[in-house]
Amino acid sequence: MSKRALITGITGQDGSYLAEHLLDQGYQVWGLCRGQANPRKDRIAKLIPELSFVDGDLMDQGSLVSAVDLVQPDEVYNLGAISFVPMSWQQPELVTEVNGTGVLRMLEAVRMVSGLTKSSGGGPPRGQIRFYQASSSEMYGKVAESPQRETTSFHPRSPYGVAKAFGHYITQNYRESYGMYGVSGILFNHESPRRGAEFVTRKISLAVSQIKLGLMDKLHLGNLDAERDWGFAGDYVRAMHLMLQQEQPGDYVVGTGAMHRVRDAARIAFEHIGLDWQEHVVVDPGLVRPAEVETLCADSGNARRELGWEPEVDFEQLMRMMVESDLRQASRERDYRQLLATGSW
Ligand code: NAP
Ligand code: G4F
């Protein structure tokens, strides 16, 4: 019989790639969706027609118990979160509720439906449901060492990072307290043409496509010197799945090991359309964060050795892929507008 997976955050970037990957592996996949008439649900339902949906919200314990009970999943992937870091200074309590306490609620739902009570200690993992938590390199914050690995201590620099650290530790605690098969993937930044427009790589690729078509001229960015280890989301969802297929549960760092600055992302994207980024990028101090994570770089040695995971797309390929995708979309929209304006169907 095929395995069943429940994904929270199904309408997000990673949810869509993970769902496609699991469907390819022969899974039945349910996405947890919140809200009344969520427009992002319609979009993902069109993109992946094989998906099933179940209602639920990480703010609502009862809805999560009902969802897990209804789906009876073999694997739960908890990807749901408010994932834009600056939002966590604007609404710290909400972000803590969703990204921190929301993890606890999801773990409780899994524990209750699995009938798990306290662990007698040691032994193989118990319960039928395996749980994946979307932890983040943002937990490393002001980094204690470079590159960062599973044993590097956390020093989060945003309410987002603090909430993610809670989610990380509570997942570890349910593993130790109840013997649950619960793991966290400490994923470094990963991007794609499906990335939200608020994140810097997509902000750049969207702007570049608009500039190419003469629809805008200047792109406003914040800290150009921030360094990130950027990879392709399609590669990273393979690591999530692999983590739940191991005999023993464990946490893994996932990243490429290559670091680039924000200014490199801009340079590559503008070069791809034959323009000089310095003529179009404007630094806006208002976009600089109250406490910045200056540098992040992954040591994914454990994931490579133990999971057999390797990324396939490098940073240059990633930026070019995103620019190409946004250019295609922007050109289609421009052509459509021209057709409407001229009436020449
Ligand atoms: P994303 O595109 O922003 O998607 C976030 C998802 O969370 C959306 O589907 C959103 O659903 C859902 N969500 C928000 N609030 C919710 C709530 N109260 N209850 C249930 N679902 C809720 O994020 P992503 O890039 O796919 O990232 C997936 C996960 O990995 C997140 O937990 C993120 O923090 C973490 N992460 C991401 C990266 C990265 O570089 N992408 C790196 C490390 C960790 P709606 O449509 O209803 O808003
Ligand atoms: O693209 P970003 O907004 O991603 P950030 O803050 O690193 O967070 C992403 O990765 C985390 C993993 O490390 C995830 F947990 C999180 O959910 C999210 O997916 O910003 C990247 C860097 C930052 O240093 C920021 O200050 O780019 C810098 N930056 C410079 N100008 C900008 C801008 N970021 C944004 N969003 N917009 C700018 O104009």
Rounded Cα–Cα distance for residues 158 and 289 (Å) = 9
Percent of the chain whose pLDDT exceeds 70: 99
Looking from the CA of residue 59, the nearest atom of ligand 1 is 18
Question: Which residue shows structure tokens 């990963």?
Answer: 190
Cα 337 to ligand 1 centre (Å)? 32
* Both structure tokens of 334: 């421009």
Local structure of 75: helix, strand or coil: strand
Selection from 240, 221, 82 nearest residue 161 by Cα: 82
Instruction: Provide the CB-side half-sphere exposure for 16 (13 A, CA).
Output: 20
pLDDT digits (tens, 9 = 90+) for 142-164: 999 999 999 999 999 999 999 99
For 294, list phi and psi in degrees, rounded to 5. -75, -35
Higher pLDDT, 286 or 344: 286
* Both structure tokens of 249: 């549960």
Is the CB of 198 inside a 6 Å radius of any atom of ligand 2? yes
Task: Identify whether the C-beta of residue 281 lies closer than 8 Å to the C-beta of residue 266.
Answer: yes
For 41, list phi and psi in degrees, rounded to 5. -65, -40
pLDDT bucket at 1, cuts 50 / 70 / 90: confident
Helix (H) or strand (E) run with residue 103 in it: helix 102-114
Domains of the chain, start order: 4-191+233-254 (3.40.50.720), 200-227+258-296+313-342 (3.90.25.10)
Helix (H) or strand (E) run with residue 19 in it: helix 13-24
β-partners of residue 120 are none
Q: Is residue 169 flagged as an active site residue?
A: no
- In this structure, which amino acid lies at residue 274? G
Evaluate if residue 121 carries a pLDDT over 70: no
Rounded Cα–Cα distance for residues 156 and 140 (Å) = 6
Cα 343 to ligand 2 centre (Å)? 42
Specify the DSSP class assigned to residue 188: P
Selection from 326, 25, 1 nearest residue 191 by Cα: 326
Q: Is residue 2 flagged as an active site residue?
A: no
Give the model's pLDDT for residue 33: 98
Evaluate if residue 126 carries a pLDDT over 90: no
Task: Identify whether the C-beta of residue 238 lies closer than 8 Å to the C-beta of residue 17.
Answer: no
**290-300 burial, b if ≥16 CB within 10 A, otherwise e?**
eebbebbbbbb
Q: What is the DSSP secondary-structure string of 140-180?
A: T-S-SSSSB-TTSPP---SHHHHHHHHHHHHHHHHHHHH-E
Q: How confident is the model over 239-248, as a mean pLDDT? A: 98
Ligand nearest to the CA of 265: 2
pLDDT digits (tens, 9 = 90+) for 36-61: 999 999 999 999 999 999 999 999 99
Give the model's pLDDT for residue 120: 59
Looking from the CA of residue 296, the nearest atom of ligand 2 is 13
- In this structure, which amino acid lies at residue 1? M
Is the CB of 59 inside a 6 Å radius of any atom of ligand 1? yes
Is the CB of 40 inside a 6 Å radius of any atom of ligand 1? yes
Q: Is residue 66 flagged as an active site residue?
A: no
Return all residues near 137 (Cβ < 8 A) that are at least 6 apart.
Answer: 148, 186, 187, 188, 189, 229, 253, 255, 296, 298
pLDDT digits (tens, 9 = 90+) for 71-94: 999 999 999 999 999 999 999 999
Q: How confident is the model over 94-102, as a mean pLDDT? A: 98
Local structure of 288: helix, strand or coil: coil
Helix axes 262-272, 315-342, angle to 10 degrees: 50
Evaluate if residue 270 carries a pLDDT over 90: yes
Where do runs of H (alpha helix) occur along 25-86? 39-47, 61-71
Q: What is the DSSP secondary-structure string of 191-236?
A: E-TTS-TTSHHHHHHHHHHHHHTTS---EEES-TT-EE--EEHHHH
Q: How confident is the model over 172-195, as a mean pLDDT? A: 98
